Amino acid sequence: MADTIRGADIVARTLEKLGTQKVFTLSGNHIMSIFDAALETKLELIHVRHEAATVHMADAWGRLTGEPGIAMVTGGPGHANAVGALYTALANESPMVLLSGHAATDELGRGGFQEIAQADLARPVAKASWTSTSAAALGEDVAKALHIARSGRPGPVHLSLPSDLLDEEVDAARGAIPDRLPGAAPVALPDAIADAVLDAIAKARAPLIIAAPHLSGPHGRPILAELEKAVQAPVVLMESPRGIRDATLGAFSQLLKQTDLIVLLGKPLDFTLKWAQPPVVEPTCRVISIDAEAALLDRAQGEIGERLALGVIGEARAAVRTLTERGLKSTPRAATWLAEARRLLDHRPESWATLKGKNGRLHAVEVFTALKPIVLRDPNTVLICDGGEFAQWGQSLIQPPRRVVNGVAGSIGAGIPFAVAARAWEPKAPIITVVGDGTFGFHMSEFDTAVRHNLPFVAIVGTDAMWNAESQIQLRDYGAQRMHGCSLLPTRYDQVVTALGGHGEFVEDAAALPVAIERAIASGKPACVNVMIEPIAAPVI
């Protein structure tokens, strides 16, 4: 009798063979065979409390490692719960794969258990989305999904796995376990094109290079710093939905006014840059776009016409390397413009230093002034900033080498799952996530996940008892008398975390905050430092 292998074993062994270490998952009928198959591998299943959290964790894993994170959920409602979180990963270009169980193929169209058009549901928020049709080809499908997730412009990929294919026994010779990813090598930037870009940068009075969000991780920031040094032109990351008003970028609007050449390294020309239209930039400002997707080059051409000086197909990471290598061989620009640009990007108003909270509550500046030295004393610390207003102050005031923000999607709620994934990746250094109380409510139950899996981190929760981003819009646009529907309770989130098995701290005094944070780190548990804060708008520079 020929040796056989289950479809579920093909999936699990392919993941292991291709380098997957952790799978963020929530159990369910359709994927129980993969849970069983994982016992015969070295895969670690981190099982969570809500399917959306699996996607957020895989998203964070992709951002931090540059390699696809894996989320795995059951079919039907489990898949539906997970899909919404894909948009955050898509907007921030995070390589990840969502594996969803699926109704059996022989039940499709007959009202099968939890049958929905899963691939269709995920397609608008994924680079690719499809359903496996052959048990023997499951390994090829998984490898293909991993390849698509990490190639070109990285992003999330969805693959549905029908339960009968997972249970099916196939000839072991047919059910191959891929040992490498398919596809071609990254599209490099031709030397001649790179030289033309470098020549344009050298001749520009005030050039600016803007990099794609997927280069914001620990694998991307160092090579961008090398590029800036090599070409002596400022390189920035735009990873916030606030775009040109992102206080992380200091006086960025002033910088753009002076810029006469923008080089987009995988960065789409979109709303975050106001499509590089006047008055954000001068009418004569030219743009060079290097992108893995021809459609985005065409879109840029349609937006700015002849001001697109050059549009070329190329993958951002490969382009950074080529530009750096060839830039080091060319005559360097004078350092004057780079120094001025960095002065603007690093600018923070002196008046911030004197900001204090009122009515027994802390100002956000007081919180992050206390947190900053704790974060920066270890270069391996991971800081996560997730929220509408409060966390924006953290993004502006603390910029460690390892940082994750909620991203271009403008969604909130992922901060706690992000922290769980960050700890699953980084075993020793502090993991600190900064969230508002609205954000905290999305996934507070993942503290249970962190406790069960012994994945400690510290959540700094700014509690102002409201959906503050929305209340600020109401205040600005409609006036104080028409603010409604945004109130929350001043809940003792520290006690919630304690009840879930973690460590809790409650802070109402700025002087007590540093010690409270230190106790939370020293506890060795998933911890919440619940800080009562004043409801204020995000910073504007």
Q: How far apart are CA 86 and CA 383, in angstroms?
A: 22
R_g of the chain, CA atoms, integer Å: 24
Residue 256 has pLDDT above 70, yes or no: yes
Same domain, 341 and 356: no
Report d(CA 15, CA 46) in Å as an integer. Answer: 15
**Phi and psi, residue 402, nearest 5°:** -110, 105
In a domain, 183, yes or no: no
What is the greatest pairwise CA distance in the chain? 79
pLDDT digits (tens, 9 = 90+) for 428-477: 999 999 999 999 999 999 999 999 999 999 999 999 999 988 988 899 99
By C-alpha distance, which of 230, 229, 228 is closest to 210? 228
pLDDT number for residue 1: 42
Return the CATH number at 388: 3.40.50.970
Query: Which range in 177-186, 296-305, 324-333 is most confidently predicted, on average pLDDT?
Result: 296-305
Task: Tell whether 464 and 526 lie within a shared domain.
Answer: yes
Tokens encoding 46: 């981190």
Query: Do 95 and 71 reside in the same domain of the chain?
Result: yes
User: What's CA 394's distance to the chain center, in Å?
Assistant: 16
Query: Is pLDDT at 419 greater than 60 in this prediction?
Result: yes
- Using 50, 70 and 90 to split pLDDT, how confident is the model at 504? very high
Query: With left for phi above 0 and alpha for psi between -120 and 50, is residue 436 left, alpha or beta?
Result: beta
Are 363 and 487 part of one and the same domain? Answer: yes
What is the dihedral sign for C-alpha 371, 538, 274, 121?
Answer: positive
Specify if 182 maps to a domain.
Answer: no
442 lies in some domain: yes
**For residue 176, is it within any domain?**
no
The mean pLDDT of the chain is: 95
Q: Which of 112, 136, 171 represents a domain boundary (last residue)?
A: 171
* SS3 (DSSP) at 116: coil
Length of the chain: 541
Q: How far is CA 195 from the centre of its chain?
A: 32
Query: Are 491 and 505 in the same domain?
Result: yes
> Does residue 136 surpass a pLDDT of 70?
yes
**In sequence order, what are the beta bridge partners of 330?**
none
Check residue 180 and give its pLDDT.
86
- CATH assignment at residue 219: 3.40.50.1220
How many CB atoms are closer than 10 A to CB 46?
20
Q: Which residue from 118, 17, 14 is spatially nearest to 76, judged by alpha carbons? A: 118
The pLDDT assigned to 452 comes to 98
- 222 CB-near residues (< 8 Å, 6+ apart): 401
For residues 305 and 541, the model is more confident at: 305
Q: Which tokens in the block code for residue 451?
A: 């406790």
Q: Which amino acid is at 528?
A: C
Cβ density class 318-357: b for 16+ within 10 Å, e for less: bbbbbbbebbeeeeebeeebbeebeebbebeeeebeebeb
Q: Do 209 and 167 share a domain, yes or no?
A: no
pLDDT attached to residue 94: 97
| Contact status, residue 526 vs residue 456, Cβ threshold 8 Å | yes
On the 0-12 / 13-18 / 19+ scale of CB atoms within 10 A, 372 is: middle
Whether 540 is covered by a domain: the verdict is no
In a domain, residue 136? The reply is yes
Tell me whether residue 181 is in a domain: no
Q: Average pLDDT, stretch 331-340?
A: 92
Question: Among 107, 137, 171, where does a domain finish?
Answer: 171
Spatial distance between the Cα atoms of 297 and 281, rounded to a whole number of angstroms: 19
Other CB atoms within a 10 A radius of the CB of residue 216 amount to: 22
For residue 184, being part of any structural domain is answered with no
pLDDT of amino acid 498: 98
Same domain, 355 and 475: yes
Q: Are residues 26 and 155 in the same domain?
A: yes
Rounded average pLDDT over 228-252: 94
Question: CB-based contacts of 109: which residues, under 8 Å, 6+ apart?
Answer: none
Quick one: average pLDDT of 479-487?
92
- What domain range includes position 501? 350-532
Q: What is the mean pLDDT of residues 390-406?
A: 94
Predicted pLDDT of residue 279: 96
Q: Check residue 2 and give its pLDDT.
A: 59
Q: Same structural domain for residues 340 and 401?
A: no
Domain match, 392 and 330 both: no
Query: In the sheet that 402-405 helps form, which strands lie side by side, from edge to edge?
Result: 402-405, 382-386, 431-436, 458-463, 527-532, 503-507
Tens-digit pLDDT profile for residues 141-184: 999 999 999 999 999 999 999 999 999 999 988 878 998 888 77
Work out whether the CA dihedral 166, 169, 174, 175 comes out positive or negative.
positive
Band of residue 115 on the pLDDT scale cut at 50, 70, 90: confident
Helix (H) or strand (E) holding 520: helix 513-522
H, E, C per residue of 314-357: CCHHHHHHHHHHHHCCCCCCCCHHHHHHHHHHCCCCHHHHHCCC
pLDDT score of 210? 98
Q: Given a cut of 50, is residue 108 above it in pLDDT? A: yes
Q: How many domains does the chain have?
A: 3
Q: 300, 324, 345 — which closes off a domain?
A: 345
Do 341 and 360 fall within a single domain?
no
The verdict on 467 and 483 lying in the same domain is yes
Supply the pLDDT for residue 157: 98
